[in-house]
A and B are shown apart, each in its own frame.
Chain A
């Protein structure tokens, strides 16, 4: 039997503090924001790397976005992934979770045989958590979301996963191949392996695919393949703390605090 192959979907996202809303066009201005790997996706990659340590096999990293994402994918290689795929085409742009999951699923099928697709539970920009179940549906595989622990029984082609549910957790047994989304913060992503840095620059390690390469119907990807539209965006109250000083006698102070935090106190 061949070796286990894990595909990790990773998104590059702008640093939250640096994204601004362009008040004229009512669109997000990400151009000046520095980018990072979506933190939950780092947890997914770390989980894949731990499985690779235990079972051997190889890891492919998959991302969708502009060409500059390539240098982030090389970071994943430096952490121990074996190769990377970047889906880069204007036709993919503006996709919602429907279009995104369609595109990623098409790429996964093109990459070939796999046992596991790992994703972070959600992205820090969109925070929908809907892409992993979407990929699983397009691929027709079982899904496990919010996984805290993952064990692979490669020989019997199945996995055991502990996943979060409301107020607790449950242990699942699922056949491979499967799509698993990894709960944020379940592990500490390893730092770059400096000894891998020269290797990770290798030309043939990152494959870039366009919509044509993928052979997807252009009606199913990007804006065209999406069902939702953005009605408007706004900057919520600045991330900076308000630092509003409240003064008075303790009972006045308490009353003023309650007026201000009332929105956070749901009736119970």
Chain B
């Protein structure tokens, strides 16, 4: 039997294993591939419902389930050799007493085992495991695929159907009226995007509706204006990018949203879109079907270009110690650690301090993977750990560049702490409002 993703018969499966073993140059006694190891593994799996009865001394998986999971995960889990680095590195390990067994989830995906443990919904898709996986397995993708299957089994967590309906009816995951989408730009007199401007500024749902995050969108406007950028906005026509839907695990619907959005962007002649949130950026880069000349940039990336080309100069002095928290969807997921740091470094007076975990190793805020719409117990929030790390640096400000990060971090600032959270755009806007530094005072 051959599917779009290769040979998925039992023989094919065995071949897949062998291929994987060959590639990985696995030692013969490696647990997963010896007969004894296989038996042990199957015994582990036997505790999972849906696995068929023992056949001789070896348990056999249900072929239909196997196919379903392998097809859904596009065989992505096949490369995993069960080293367990993912489980060890998962940030949940820092806040939960019981570790979240990512390795096991991946194993179940490899073997086609059904059943949806809570861990499937815990993942924030932060990508820390993927970054360190010696086999380069796209673990968040595997987990999102498992969520897709869980949706089909109607095993989704409470709150996610409402999230999807909100997007369906109102065009945003918060269920706020579409007619209020442009409230954030009140008084700014922003032009409609005509297709002729350099840039489409895309606020996204969170910056459109969350009063706290609206300030970030307004700061981005302020900075773009300071650089003389000609840009337009879509106002009430702005569509949802689909990130919340995709990360809730409903790829089918997210793909529809992306197709609709792509169609609109093409019709409008969007060549460059600048986003407030790295989550929207991720959708535009990887899920929108756009012509090759189309560019999607996070605003920090766009500002970095403006600074490099001399269009944006920050002259105001802002003496401030800032530590930068890498948003997962700008950093690990899209490989940009430098743009926000360079933008911050361009501000005279800003001193950049790094946290213990930074760049590729940065700790997630806890808001990705749809977790913004699920409750996390107060003592299990990554952001609390992150804020503690930030305080160790002696910084006055935790800078970030993502609405979810800003929300999560702000919620985790203890009452007695003086450290504050600000988006890079806000910090830049403060600097732009400052008078220029007196040249004489600067040592060359």
Given contacts A188-B159, A194-B252, contact A18 B165 (CB under 8 A): no
**Which chain A residues numbered 246 to 268 have a C-beta less than 8 Å away from chain B?**
none
Asked whether A17 and B179 contact (CB < 8 A) given A188-B158, A195-B152, the answer is: yes
- State which of A18, A42, A190, A195 has its C-beta within 8 Å of the C-beta of B177: A18
B161: chain A residues within 8 A (beta carbon)? 188-191
Closest Cβ–Cβ distance, residue B184 to chain A (whole Å): 14
Contact of B169 among A36, A188, A193, A194 (CB under 8 A): A36
A126 to B288, CA, bound (A): 41
Q: Which of B142-156 contact A (CB under 8 A)?
A: 151-152, 154, 156
Residues B159 and A17 in contact, CB atoms below 8 Å apart: no
Select B165's contact among A189, A193, A194, A195, beta carbons within 8 Å.
A189
Shortest Cβ gap from B118 to chain A (Å): 18
CB within 8 Å of B: which of A192-223? Answer: 192-195
The reply to whether the CB of B358 lies closer than 8 angstroms to some CB of chain A is no
Number of cross-chain contacts by CB at 8 Å: 35
In the assembled complex, A90 has its CB within 8 A of some CB on chain B:
no
Q: Is the CB of B165 within 8 A of A191?
A: yes
A195 CA to B154 CA in the complex, in Å?
A: 13
Prevailing SS type, chain B contact patch: helix
In the bound complex, residues from chain A placing their C-beta under 8 Å from that of B158 are 188
Determine the distance from Cα of A27 to Cα of B344 in the docked complex, in whole angstroms.
56
Chain B residues whose CB sits within 8 angstroms of the CB of A193 once the complex forms: 152
Q: How far is the CA of A193 from the CA of B252 in the complex (A)?
A: 10
Is A55 engaged at the interface, CB distance under 8 Å to the other chain? no
Q: Closest CB of chain B to A239's CB: distance in Å?
A: 8
- The distance from the CB of A196 to the nearest CB of chain B, in whole angstroms, is 11
Task: Verify if A71 is at the interface (C-beta below 8 Å from B).
Answer: no
The answer for the CA separation of A194 and B253 in the assembled complex, in Å, is 8
Contact B253 A18 (CB under 8 A): no
Interface string of A28-44 (1 = CB under 8 A from B): 00000010100000100
Is there contact, CB below 8 Å, between A17 and B180? yes
Contacts of B160 in A (CB 8 A): 191
Task: Return chain B residues, CB-CB under 8 Å to A191.
Answer: 151, 156, 160-161, 164-165, 168, 250, 253
Q: Is A174 an interface residue (CB 8 A)?
A: no
Residues in chain A near residue B253, CB distance under 8 A: 191-192, 194
Q: How many angstroms from the CA of A191 to the CA of B161 in the assembled complex?
A: 5
Report if A91 contacts B (CB, 8 A): no
B162 and A34 form a contact (CB under 8 A): no
A191–B169 CA distance with the chains assembled, in angstroms: 12
Query: Hey, which chain B residues are within 8 Å of A36, CB to CB?
Result: 169
Complex alpha-carbon distance, A1 and B168, angstroms: 39
- Interfacial chain A residues near B252, Cβ < 8 Å: 194
- Chain B, residues 42-65, CB within 8 Å of chain A (1/0): the string is 000000000000000000000000
B251 to chain A: closest residue by CB: A194
Residues of B within 8 A of A51 (CB): none
Contacts of B179 in A (CB 8 A): 17-18
Tell me if B75 is interfacial: C-beta within 8 Å of chain A: no
B178 at the interface (CB under 8 A from A): yes
- A36, A42, A192, most chain B CB atoms within 10 A: A192
User: Among the interface residues A18, A190, A194, A195, which one has the most CB atoms of the partner chain B within 10 A?
Assistant: A194
Instruction: Map CB proximity to B onto A73-87 as digits: 1 under 8 Å, 0 otherwise.
Output: 000000000000000
Cβ of A106 < 8 Å from any Cβ of B?
no
Chain B's nearest CB lies how many Å from the CB of A58? 18
Binary flags per residue of B374-418, CB closer than 8 Å to A gives 1, else 0: 000000000000000000000000000000000000000000000
Contacts of B178 in A (CB 8 A): 15, 34
A184: min CB distance to chain B, Å: 13
Interchain nearest-CB distance for B64 vs A (Å): 15
Query: A42 CB to closest chain B CB, in angstroms?
Result: 8
Q: Restricting to A16-74, which residues have a CB under 8 Å from any CB of B?
A: 17-18, 34, 36, 42
Q: Which residues of B contact A188 (CB under 8 A)?
A: 158-159, 161-162
- Bound-state CA distance A194–B177 (Å) is 25
Q: Give A195 to B252 CA distance when docked, in angstroms.
A: 9
Q: Closest residue of chain B to A34, judged by CB?
A: B178
Q: Which residues of B contact A (CB under 8 A)?
A: 151-152, 154, 156, 158-162, 164-165, 168-169, 177-180, 250, 252-253
Q: Could you list 18 further interchain pairs (A-B, Cβ under 8 angstroms) beyond the known A42-B165, A191-B151? A: A15-B177, A15-B178, A17-B180, A18-B177, A18-B179, A36-B169, A188-B162, A189-B161, A189-B165, A190-B154, A191-B156, A191-B160, A191-B161, A191-B164, A191-B250, A192-B253, A193-B152, A194-B252
Q: List 10 A-B contacts (CB under 8 A).
A: A18-B177, A188-B161, A189-B165, A190-B154, A191-B156, A191-B165, A191-B168, A192-B168, A192-B253, A195-B152
